[in-house]
Amino acid sequence: MPQETPNQQPVPRGWQMDPIPSRPAYKDEDGNIRIPIWLTKNGRHAADTEMVLLPSEAELLNERLTNAVGDPPSNLQALHHAHVVARGHGVTVSKLPHST
């Protein structure tokens, strides 16, 4: 069994995916967002691949990552999303003003 030194981090067990720092995310010809990622299993490289997201999924991921990092949304983002009640896979439920 290998011994850990105080400065050495344990090898993650199981599958892990990490963004490839040298390759930025991009939009493909179909309008999907593609994020290049490394797949590793038990700390060993298994493959380079891409996470493919619909624009709505990429927007939701961006929103959740922003919230997780702790950056508050800008006033423009708040105004843009003020009508949104709920989001799901490819679906947005909006609150529209009632006409009288």
Report domain extents, the chain: 12-69
Residue 99: band (very low, low, confident or very high) from pLDDT cuts 50, 70, 90: very low
User: Percent helix, strand, coil in the chain (nearest 5)?
Assistant: 20, 35, 45
CA atoms within 13 A on the CB side of 19: 9
Whether pTM > 0.95 for this model: the answer is no
Q: Please give the DSSP secondary-structure letter assigned to residue 49.
A: E
Residue range 33-45, pLDDT digits in tens: 999 999 999 989 9
Residue 82: band (very low, low, confident or very high) from pLDDT cuts 50, 70, 90: low
Q: What are phi and psi of 59, to 5 degrees?
A: -65, -40
| Sign of the CA dihedral with 47 first, then 52, 84, and 70 last | positive
